[in-house]
Amino acid sequence: MKKILTLLLLVACSLPSWGAPKTPLYKDPSQPVEKRVADLLSRMTLEEKIGQMNQYVAYINEDAPERKAVILDVAAKGHIGSVFQANTPEWANELQKAAMKTRLQIPILVGADAVHGAAMIWGTTVYPMPINFASTWNPEYIRKMARQTALELRSLGSHWSFFPNMDLARDPRWGRIGETFGEDPLLVSDMGCAMIDGYQLGDFTGTDRVVACANHFVAGGSAINGINFWGSDIGERTLRSTYLKPYYDAVKKANLFTIMGSHNTINDIPCHINKWLMTDIMRDEYGFKGFYVSDFTDLERLHETYMVARDHQEGYTLAINAGMDMHMQGPGFYEPVIEAVKKGIIPMERVDEAVSRILEAKFRLGLFEQPLVDEELHKRVVRQKAHGEHALEAARNSIVLLENRNQTLPLQPEKIKKILVTGPNANNKTILGDWTNPQPDENITTIAEGLTSVAAEHGVQVDYFNVGENIRKGLEAEKIKEAIQKAADYDLIVLALGEGTIRYDKPSRTDGENTDRTDINLLGNQLELAQQMKATGKPVVVVYINMRPISEPWVSANVDALLEAWCPGQAGGTAVAEVLFGEVNPGAKLPVTILQSVGQARLYYSMLPNAPFRNGYVEMKRTPLYPFGYGKSYTTFEISEPRIAKSVLGREEATTVTVTVTNTGDRKGDEVVQMYIRDDYSYGVVRPIKELKGYQRVSLEPKESKEVSFDITPEMLAYYDLDMNFKVEEGTFKIMVGNSSADKDQKTVALKVTESYPVAR
C-alpha cells in the first residue's frame, strides 16, 4: 500500500500545478520592457486602457476632503493612469495603494510642475527661473539642477516633470518668457536637452530619475499680440528651421519621451489636434517614440473655446486620432472615449499605441516593483546642502550687468558706508518667480536680507524702507516721498524694481502664466521712484526682478548701475549682494533682445535683412536697447581675429574657427564667446542676418588667454530652399565671433562652399 501511495505522490508531483497562481510576465522585472508592455496590454480591457490615458489634478487643499475621496475612488476603479501635483509622499502613497486595489495593479504616474526645482511643493529647493539659467550660457548649470530636482521629486513620490519649456520667447509682452530659455533656437535647444538629460539620465530607467516633458508644442511664445492661448500664423519653413529645432534636437540628442501640447493654434488648427505636427513630423520624420499629454483642459476647449468640435467626445476623438495620448485633468474624459472606441471612430490600434507608451514609462521608472515611496526619504533628500549651494551658484552666474557708469560697481566700502535699499521687490518673494507655491520664510533670502548680510561683512550699514509692494496697484505716494527724504542720510540707493511675480498673490501679479501685458515698461509709478531718487544726487543702483525683459530707456540712460537679476531663486538676495560688492564678477549674457519700447515688438537679433531697411521708426531707430548676447563685466576682455582652419569647403566638408580670448583687466572674470553665421546670398529664400551657431563660457584669470574653437558643420550652413529641401548652397558665408550679437562686438572671417548638396535630417 505504501508503494502505491508513494507512486501516486510522485506522479502528482510531476504533473503541472494548474491550480497554483502563476506570476504574470509583466510583473517579472527580469523580462525586457517591450515584452512586459505587450503582455500587460494583452490582458487589459478597453476600460482599463482608457483609464491609463486619463490624468487627474491631485492637488488637495485641507478644506477639500470630498475631492480627495473622489480621486481615491477613481484610482481604485482604475479610471486614471496618472495624476499631477500630489504634493506629499503620504498622499502619493495613498493614491498608489488605491491603484493596487485594481485587477492588474497598474501603478499611477505622478507628475509635477517642476519648472525650477520642485517649487510647487512646500519646503523644496527653489532654483533660479529658466531665463536665469539661459543667461548663464552654460547648460551644465541646468543639467545639475535637473539632476538634483529629480532626486527631490522621487523622494516626494513624483516621477514626471512637466518641463523643460522649449518655446522661443519672441514677444516681450508674453507673460511666460521667464519659464523659457530665451529667443534663440540653439540656446533653447542646448538648455532644454541638458535639462532632459539631468532628469532622465538617458532612458530614465531606475528609481532616481524622472521623465521629462518638453512643452509647449509648439510656438506658444509667438502667439499674436503676445497673448497666451492666441493663435500664430507661421509658415512651414519657419516652423521647421526655428520653432521645431529644439524638439528635433530633444528627440535626437536627449531621448525626449513626453511632450505637452500648446494652448495656441498654428495656422488656425489647434495644436492639440494637429496630426501633421504631432504624428507626421514628430513621430514619422523625427522618430519620437514617447507619448503626448494635453495641457490643462485643452481638449475640452476644442468644443468650448475653439469651437472645432460639436461636443467633448468629438474633441477627444480629434485629438486622440491626431496623436494625443493622455488627457490632463480627466473628469468627463473616460466614458465618452470608451463609447467612441466602441463606435469605431477611435481605432483600437490608436488606443493601444497610446497605452503602450504610457506603460513603458511606468516600467522603466520601476513603478511596478516599487510603487510606494519611503515617506521618510524626503527628509534626507529635499533641500540638501549641495542643492542649496547649486541654487546660489546658478544665481550668481545668471545676473547680467547692463550698466555700470563711473565704475559704481563693485561697491567700495571705503567710500560707501550707508546704503538705503527700497523698491517693491526689495524684501519679498518676487525673487522666486512663477511656478512657486508658498515657501517657508526661513528658506528665502530677499534682496534686502542678502544685502544687509553681505554688507555687514564689509563694514557697511544697510537699511530697508518699504514703499509698498503692489506694483499693479501702484506704490504709496507718501511712502515714496518719505523714502526720498531718507535718501539724504545715505551714500548710495539700491532700488529693487520690476514685476510682480508671485503666483499665489493674484492682486499684485503682473508677470508669469496668463499675465500678458500691453506694455513692457516699469508698471505703475516705479519710474517716478527711480527718477526722484536720482534727483537727490545720490548714486542709484537699480536691480530688476522680473521674468519678461523690461524696456525703460530712462533707467538705462540715467542710473549709475543696472543689474538684470531676473528671478534668481531662494538665494537670490545673497547672489545680488555678492555681485554688488564684487565678491562675484558678473559674467552672464542676455538670452533675449531688450527693446527700446513695446512699439519695436517683435524685434529679435536674427531678423531678416529687410527688417532694418531704411532708418527706423519716426520716434526711434530700429536698434534695440540691449542686444541678444550682451552683458558687462568688472574686467575687460579682448577677442582676437578669428582664424579658420579651412576657408574653402567642398561637399559635406567641415572646418573649425578659432579665436584667442584674453582677460585684459585686473580681476578674474567670465566671458561668453559667441559664433554667428550668415549666408551672404540664398537663392530665392530670405535668410536671417545672423544665426547663433556656437558659444562657450570661459573663465580667465587677469592677463590669462585661452583659445576657443568652434566646429562648423554642413548642418550649420544648411537651410530649407524654395522646394523645402534642407541643403547647403554653393556660395560665401560670414563667420562672426564676438561677445554679443551686435555687429560692433564681432569680428568676421569668410567661408566659401564650392557646391550645393542636400543635408540629411
User: Is there a single domain that holds both residue 586 and residue 670?
Assistant: no
Structurally, the chain folds into a number of domains equal to: 2
Between 32-41, 214-223, 250-259, the lowest mean confidence (pLDDT) is in 214-223
* 539 in a structural domain: yes
Q: Which residues span the domain enclosing 673?
A: 637-758
CA quadruple 308, 309, 312, 313: dihedral positive or negative?
A: negative
Average pLDDT across the chain, whole number: 94
Instruction: Supply the pLDDT for residue 16.
Output: 40
Residues contacting residue 292 through CB under 8 Å, at least 6 positions apart: 217, 258, 259, 260, 261, 278, 323, 324, 325, 326
Does residue 270 surpass a pLDDT of 70? yes
- Distance from C-alpha of 547 to C-alpha of 565, rounded to nearest angstrom: 9
| One domain, residues 552 and 436 | yes
Closest alpha carbon to 248 in 186, 291, 180 = 186
Of the residues 576, 600, 624, which one is the last residue of a structural domain? 600
Which of 571, 600, 629 terminates a domain? The answer is 600
Domain end: 546, 573, 600, which one? 600
Note whether residue 174 is domain-resident: no
Co-location of 670 and 596 in the same domain:
no
515 lies in the same domain as 654: no
Q: Give the pLDDT mean for 607-627.
A: 81
- CB proximity list for 529: less than 8 A, separation 6 or greater: 422, 423, 467, 475, 480, 483, 495, 497
pLDDT at res. 232 = 87
Residue 8: pLDDT over 50: no
Residue 32 lies in a domain: no
Same-domain check for residues 425 and 554: yes
What would the grid cell of residue 706 be? 585661452
**410 falls within a domain:** yes
Position with higher pLDDT, 8 vs 685 = 685
pLDDT of residue 621: 80
Where is 450: in which H helix or E strand?
Answer: helix 447-457
pLDDT at 326 (0 to 100)? 98
Beta bridge partners of 497: 544
Residues 717 and 643 grouped into a single domain: yes
For residues 148 and 392, give the distance between their C-alpha atoms in angstroms, rounded to a whole number.
14
Report residue 184 as a C-alpha cell.
534663440
Shared domain for 417 and 507, answered yes or no, is: yes
pLDDT at residue 155 is higher than 70: yes
The CATH number covering residue 593 comes to 3.40.50.1700
- Return all residues near 401 (Cβ < 8 A) that are at least 6 apart: 409, 561, 562, 563, 579, 586, 588, 631, 632, 633, 634
In a domain, 645, yes or no: yes
Whether residue 586 is contained in a domain is answered as yes
Q: In this predicted structure, what is the pLDDT of residue 440?
A: 97
Report d(CA 50, CA 52) in Å as an integer: 5
Segment 571-588 mean pLDDT: 98
Confidence at residue 9, expressed as pLDDT on a 0 to 100 scale:
36
Sign of CA dihedral 660, 665, 670, 672: negative
Please indicate, yes or no, whether residues 681 and 747 belong to a single structural domain of this protein. Answer: yes
pLDDT at residue 602, rounded to an integer: 86
Q: Let me know how long the chain is.
A: 761
pTM for this model (two decimals): 0.95
User: Has residue 19 got a pLDDT over 70?
Assistant: no
Residue 4 pLDDT grade (very low, low, confident, very high; cuts 50, 70, 90):
very low
Quote the pLDDT of residue 738: 98
CB under 8 Å to 634, separation ≥6 — which residues? Answer: 401, 404, 409, 410, 582, 585, 586, 665, 667, 669
Q: Is 353 helix (H, G, I), strand (E, B) or coil?
A: helix
pLDDT digits (tens, 9 = 90+) for 390-435: 999 999 999 999 999 999 999 999 999 999 999 999 999 999 999 9
* Alpha-carbon distance values, 59 to 227, 287, 388 (Å): 27, 34, 26
* Same-domain check for residues 679 and 744: yes
In the prediction, which pLDDT does 152 show?
Answer: 98
Residue 334 falls inside a structural domain? no
Return the C-alpha cell found at 516.
Answer: 500678458
Say how many C-beta atoms besides its own lie within 10 A of residue 168's C-beta.
Answer: 25
Q: Give me the residue label for grid cell 554688488.
A: 580
Alpha helix segments (H runs only) across 224-333: 236-238, 245-254, 275, 298-304, 312-322
Report pLDDT digits (tens) over 507-551: 999 999 999 999 999 999 999 999 999 999 999 999 999 999 999
Distance (Å, whole) CA 291 – CA 253: 17
pLDDT over 70 (residue 2): no
Q: What cell numbers appear for 638 in the block?
A: 579682448
Q: Is the pLDDT of residue 275 over 60?
A: yes
664 and 753 together in one domain: yes
Do residues 593 and 671 share a domain?
A: no
Phi and psi (nearest 5°) for 556?
-60, -35
| Domain co-membership, 585 together with 644 | no
Check residue 3 and give its pLDDT.
Answer: 41
The verdict on residue 19 lying in a domain is no
Helix (H, G, I), strand (E, B) or coil at 573: helix
| Average pLDDT over every residue of 114-139 | 98
C-alpha cell at position 136: 548663464
- Is 501's pLDDT higher than 50? yes
CATH at residue 741: 2.60.40.10
